[in-house]
Structure 1
Amino acid sequence: MFELRRLRLLHELSLRGTIAEVAASLSYSPSTVSQQLALLEREAGVALLEPDGRRVRLTPQGRMLAEHAARALDLDERARAALTAHTGWQPVRLAAMPTAAETIVPAALTLLAERAPELRVELAELAPEESLFELWARRFDLVIAEQYPGYTRERRDGVVHELLGDDPIRIALPSLEPPTPLAQLRDHAWVMEPEGTAARQWAVQQCRAAGFEPDVRFDAADLTAHVRLIAAGHAVGMLPDLIWGDEPSPLTVADLPGSPVREVFTAVRAASRDDEAVELVRAALADAFAAHRRVSP
């Protein structure tokens, strides 16, 4: 009989690629991970790992067992969800992109305090590029993420997306400037999210479609920094309405060509869709987002 904790380590190694990354993800030491995988090899009776330079990689038998481990972990998750009604709710681990963590999540927690006061929610603020992978790897139970028009995110097996709604994206300018069409901002300095993010790629494409290459002088993951740089008159940018919460924007905003929106969605593993606690949190997030949209300009 295989020990489920060791199977999870093998599964994590198949996802993350190195023992060091597995150890960091699960808060173990690398030596503990190596020892447990060695014990799993003894249980299996075949080599699961082989040297790959200074690292290790899975053998064909290791890859096969990692696939079985993923199914075993799914079954374990489904069984725990089925027992929730009798054993009490486990904490729901939520990862949210910054704009949602600052606006939608607090409102959802207020709803949950009324609907299920004994339910514990643990929040981490992460970019979608990281949070969706970590959901797949079982670090989180629920994720709030987004995707931009024309930039559909990777759909992983066993992960289910559910749309919360649309979030308009607009040009943001200093408050003393008038609303200005995108094509007339070619000579302005820009603030954008870091290279490699969907938000950055999408924003650059909007500028190129308007006939110019943006002068991106400021690169920041925190949209609060975007707001402050724009408010101080140092840059212009593109910001989603969700960043303002239920308050009016302190900046001048102007519509982009075509009035684009990003899609805000939740993601869960298929194995936890029947988990009552996860569904309660997802429903509260949906209600909080709907309430935000009703009061937004």
Structure 2
Amino acid sequence: MIGCIVFELRRLRLLHELALRGTLAAVAEALAYSPSTISQQLTQLERDAGVALTVPDGRRLRLTEHGELLAAHAARALDLDEQVRGSLESLQPGVAAVRVATMQTVVHGVLPRALTLLADRHPDLRVEVTEAPPEEGLFELSARRFDLAIAEQYPGQTRAHRAGLQRRALGSDPLRLAVPPNDRASGLADLRGRAWVLEPTGTASRRWAVQQCRAAGFEPDVRFEIADLTAHAALIASGRAVGILPDLLWRGAVPPVTLLDLPGGPVRDVFVAHREPSALRPGIRAVIAALADAFDPGTPTSTVDG
């Protein structure tokens, strides 16, 4: 009689998370477990598999060849589980919450109207929203912490396509110089030597803004490095800095700063991403449609592009 190995999906998920995050501490933080609990579950998974799945590597755990193989199978098992849940949800829409990671500007300029549309169209659908930088949101989408992640691409730059994720364009968001009220500057070249406020180093917006300044012949004097764009606006309005800000930040409000057009009228492209196996979930499709309609009220949307 040939025996069979049965793996618990929750333990497979822990191995998948370890493959993504690299440390037990990072997995514990993401899943709100203690490191000792995760270690115990992985030890049991090794017993189930009958082979070593991890080996110590300094203060980290490194996956063995068997561990990497099982982690790849774990990802496929999690995808299949999500497909099954999506099929079940199609029989009872709204049964599962939709978890969304989004940028700050979308919270300001799109989310309120999207939630209003959803309350009218799908009153029983629960939507949970977390503000997160695009880089973090897309990673955590792959790791299944979120069901949707809203991100952006700046002109001339592209974000890496993560395996298993699909994107849907929401719209374009103009980018403009922001200077204090009544400032005499008329364009980018006039801002040489001024104090700048930009997002942290490593962000797409920071890289793009610096390149615009260099193309104009100067290096920006970045005195304020802040992620919160409303803080950017406050600093600029007070006369302490200049910067580049997207129009979504002002949607439905009067800007407290003077806005100047940049050469070529650059825009950033805003998109929403989801995992491929979740495409069948009615809740996912409903939230994407509401986001698209809220971003561009003149273009009703009812389906998700494949």
Aligned partner of 1:33 in structure 2 is 38
TM-score (norm 1): 0.96
Does residue 1:53 correspond to 2:52, yes or no? no
What SS does the corresponding residue of 2:290 show, helix, strand or coil?
helix
- Alignment CA distance shift 1:32-1:87 (3 Å): farther
Residue 253 of structure 2 aligns with which residue?
247
Counterpart position of 1:67: 72
Question: What SS does structure 2 have at the residue aligned with 1:166?
Answer: strand
Corresponding residue for 1:186? 192
Alignment-derived partner of residue 282 in structure 2: 276
In 1: Cα distance, 2:216 partner to 2:21 partner: 40
* 1: CA distance, partners of 2:102 / 2:249: 13
Q: Number of paired residues?
A: 293
| Aligned counterpart in structure 2 of residue 20 of structure 1, from 19, 25, 46 | 25
Query: Equivalents in 1 of 2:111, 2:71: separation in Å?
Result: 34
Q: Distance in 2 between matches of 1:275 and 1:136?
A: 17
Deviates more, 1:255-264 or 1:81-90: 81-90
Q: 1:94 aligns with which of 92, 100, 118?
A: 100
How much does 1:85 deviate? 3.0
SS of equivalent residue, structure 2 residue 177: strand
The 5 A counterparts of 1:92-131 are: 92-131=98-137
Q: CA deviation at 1:291?
A: 2.3
Segment drifting more, 122-131 vs 239-248? 239-248
* Percent of residue pairs bearing the same amino acid type: 61
Aligned to 2:239: 233
Report the more deviating stretch, 198-207 or 85-94. 85-94
User: Are positions 1:212 and 2:218 aligned together?
Assistant: yes
Other structure's SS at 1:150 match:
coil
Q: 1:163 aligns with which of 155, 166, 169?
A: 169
TM-score, structure 2 length as denominator? 0.94
For 1:273, what is the secondary structure of its paired residue?
A: helix
Contact 2:97 2:127 in 1 (8 A): yes
Query: Retained in 2: the 8 A contact 1:4–1:73?
Result: yes
1:173 pairs with 174, 179, 186, which one?
A: 179
Partner of 1:198: 204
Amino acid aligned to 1:123: V
**Partners of 1:292 and 1:231 in 2: CA distance:** 32
CA distance in structure 1 between the partners assigned to 2:273 and 2:225 by the alignment: 28
- What amino acid does structure 2 have at the position aligned with 1:83? L
The structural deviation recorded for 1:149 is 1.0
| Contact residue 245 and residue 292 of structure 1 kept, 8 A | no
Q: Which residue of 1 aligns with 2:304?
A: none
Cα displacement (A) at 1:86: 3.1
CA displacement at 1:87 relative to structure 2: 4.4
SS of structure 1 residue aligned to 2:30: helix
**Residue 80 of structure 1 aligns to which amino acid in structure 2?**
R
Shift of 1:179: 5.3
On the 8 A contact 1:178/1:252 being kept in 2, the answer is no
Q: 2:7 matched to which residue of 1?
A: 2
Distance 1:262 1:243 in 2: 13
SS at match of 2:96: coil
Cα distance in 1 between the residues matched to 2:263 and 2:211: 12
* Per-residue deviation, residues 75-125 of structure 1 (Å, max 9, x unmatched): 000000000133452000001000001221111000000000000000000
Q: CA deviation at 1:184?
A: 1.4
Q: Determine if contact 2:90/2:280 at 8 Å carries over to the other structure.
A: no
Quote how far apart the aligned CAs of 1:178 are: 4.1
Partner of 1:291: helix, strand, or coil?
A: coil
Q: What per-residue deviation string (whole Å, max 9, x for no partner) do you get for residues 170-229 of structure 1?
A: 000111114511011102111000111111010000000000000111110000110000
Residue 292 of structure 1 and its aligned partner are, at CA, apart by 8.7
- 8 Å contact from structure 2 (residues 100, 148) kept in 1: yes
CA deviation vs aligned residue, 1:202-259 (integer Å, no higher than 9, x gap): 0000000000000111110000110000000001100000000122322111111111
